[in-house]
A = this chain, B = another copy of it.
Amino acid sequence: TAAAAAPRSSLSPPEFEMRLHVINRQKLVKSLQQHLADSNRPIQGIVLLQGGEEQNRYCTDHTELFRQESYFAYLFGVREPSFYGAVDVATGKSILFAPRLPAEYAVWLGQIKPISHFTERYKVDMVCYVDEMEEVLHSLYKGEDKSLLFLLHGLNTDSGNFSKPADFKGIENFKTDLSTLHPVLTECRVLKSKMELDIIQYANDISSEAHVEVMRNTNVGMKEYQLESLFLHHTYMYGGCRHCSYTCICATGDNSSVLHYGHAAAPNDRTFMDGDMALLDMGAEYYFYGSDITCSFPVNGKFTADQRLIYNAVLDAHNSVIAAMKPGVNWINMHKLAEKVILEALKKGNIITGDIQDMMALRLGAVFMPHGLGHLLGIDTHDPGGYPKGLERPKEPGLSSLRTARELKEDMVITVEPGCYFISALLIPAMESSETSRFFNADAIKRFVDFGGVRIESDVYVTSTGCKNMTNVPRETWEIEAVMAGAKWPIEKGLNHSQNGIANLHS
């Protein structure tokens, strides 16, 4: 059949292991106990989180596909809506509260699962119904006075929104603490366990493979959304990934300078043309954990000299940062390193001119790369914890876009995604400014008016002595050209680029 001829995958979806969440809960309990002890508070109280609810589209009965709230997913791994979850800080005992479903559910939505199903599936100590929650929580609490609940309330530093603390009938009979849980739980999410790393690695593996598949099937005259469709299909069909980490950005030509292209008002609908660059920022999510990968390449499979120049500037930045990453390194310095490498390459290419230190001092890097170098990655694409209390967001152009300004720590997963874009809204003011106009070679810049931009993004985890790139896609220009011409990926070892079965790659 046709499917048999379609591209296959070397991967298959791994089983979910609920032990991952047991470990996550243990980590939280340990951290909370430590935190309470450090502040001379009694080791008592119950963490209570409310899971997500299914949402209808506006006033209709169109149900949006439910995706669990991320903090709840982290602690409990529950895929169903309308649950609550509790963890006793003193004992670590975990309880899920399931909604009591009406009898019609069995006809319309599926078998009504007994309590034992959830206890077994989610590896918690106990499961009760939501309508029993008040009573159960009171009986669980062993402290003095009113029972104490730690609720989740705190700022998401990317969105500016606050997480919504659990609410239920009877909560007024508890003492509630809104400030302790959020920073502690957020910090737990920042450092990934071995089991979390394994899933992020799988999401990277299937997404990397899908990027290669897309590259190979890109042809002049296609629509941008066809690349999105190829990616989604590969990661779902062969990888079991029903959700994407974020809306696919499939930008070609000038669109590639629109950093968050692909949304409803700019919906990946351009027909791309010979000579265009493509910038594809796409990552699959598997079992809550995401990936976030960007590949940039010429849609016709051959880099022009200008494309090679910009591409290699960004690749050098990407590689330089990864070579420097290790625990203790400050992310602002990595951002500046990327800027510097890019500016040096642009200078070497006669696109800009002058002293690199002067450029850096005037934040010229932010004209070409207005976004941050990268962000924490996990259950959210922009995983929380980038600015813990006391760490201020930088104010300078470019740096102010950084989603974290932290020092790297072992077991962080962070994206490395330098880019170089020709964005009129930024370039024109910079070229007209008396402070920075001297740096630009206006004639050269003209060649790039419709160029768009290049971004190269990998997901990297920090080890005790350095880091490891979890993403595996063609990065060197010759690798990209070879794969687009039909070479296998990874390219066979021992062959150099002129021996890879592809004749005259550089002809």
Contact = CB atoms under 8 A, between A and B. Distances in A.
Interface stretch (A104-112, A388-396, A435-443): A104-112
A233 B237 CA distance: 10
A259 B106 CA distance: 9
Interface stretch (A31-39, A223-231, A404-412): A223-231
A305 interface: no
Interface in A25-72: 52, 54, 56-70
A267 interface: yes
A217 B1 CA distance: 6
B69 A216 contact: no
A7 interface: yes
A495 interface: no
Contacts of A163: 58-59
How many copies, total?
A: 2
Given A156-B60, A230-B3, A80 B265 contact: yes
A260 B108 contact: yes
Contact of A61 (B106, B159, B229, B264): B159
A58 B70 contact: yes
A266 B57 contact: no
B159 A60 contact: yes
B263 A65 contact: yes
B7 A109 contact: no
A423 B1 CA distance: 34
Contacts of A267: 79, 242
Nearest to A80: B265
B109 A260 contact: yes
Contacts of A246: 62-63
B161 A60 contact: yes
Contacts of A265: 66, 79-81, 109-110
Given A2-B216, A58-B69, A240-B223, A107 B261 contact: no
Interface residues of A, number: 78
Contact of A2 (B6, B81, B159): B6
Interface in A78-114: 79-81, 103, 106-111
A503 to B, nearest CB: 17
B106 A425 contact: yes
Nearest to A370: B107
A147 interface: no
A13 to B, nearest CB: 9
A486 B1 contact: yes
Contacts of A61: 156, 158-159, 161, 382
Given A60-B159, A103-B425, A109-B258, 19 more contacts: A1-B217, A52-B58, A56-B159, A60-B70, A60-B156, A60-B380, A61-B161, A62-B381, A63-B246, A68-B264, A107-B259, A107-B423, A108-B260, A109-B265, A109-B266, A110-B265, A226-B236, A240-B269, A242-B267
